[in-house]
A = this chain, B = another copy of it.
């Protein structure tokens, strides 16, 4: 699970806030929730989830990841009942997406995307990763690299970092610190966490090495062959 920490209320109002939230019952349940969209909405959702979790209710009692995803979806709907009408009256969307990953004892780890409508979408063998927020710039590197049950956790961490690195270059609303959390199946603990602020030395080393490797890899590809441009009717539809 990886997240950035930049939030904004317009280009002239950037702030830093963690978007990674953890809920642990050691040995029993681990949930990690990433948020995107309105920070006000995701804060409300996390407040309600935290309160019910601390009271031993809601996701604290979920017997499967699917049930946990449905619980989270219910809380999204609760906040929708609180805020949607007021937002829409002023032409704001009810915009909040969540990404839930984790494990409930007795099950495999799973991950879900939860939509603003509260319904969940699971990752699959063919689509083994989920993204939320500004996902397009960072997707190709994940498409190339992430293979279901083959990509190691350590490699996945590097792909996630490179994905954010690509996105941060093009979109000012995505920014450091980057948080990365690796969860090892059946551990029910969060033992592998890293927060990388701007200027982090490991991050800069990886960025520089990556840019160099990438350029070398392109140079090493065979050159395309070219011929003179044919005359053609440029309006013609080709079947």
Chain A interface (Cβ within 8 Å of chain B)? 5, 15-18, 20-22, 43, 46-47, 50, 136-141, 143-145, 154-155, 157-159, 161-162, 166-167, 169-170, 177, 180-182, 189-194, 202, 205-206, 209-211, 213-215, 217-230, 232, 234-239
Contact = CB atoms under 8 A, between A and B. Distances in A.
A58 B234 CA distance: 18
A141 B218 CA distance: 10
Contact of A166 (B20, B22, B143, B222): B143
B194 A145 contact: no
A181, A206, A213 — most chain B CB neighbours (10 Å): A213
Tally of this chain's copies: 2
Nearest to A19: B234
B234 A20 contact: yes
A183 to B, nearest CB: 10
Nearest to A218: B158
A228 B46 contact: no
A138, A140, A189, A232 — most chain B CB neighbours (10 Å): A140
A192 B235 contact: no
A193 B227 contact: yes
A226 to B, nearest CB: 4
Given A214-B217, A220-B213, A229-B181, A238 B193 contact: no
A153 to B, nearest CB: 10
A16 B137 CA distance: 26
Contacts of A18: 232, 234, 236, 238
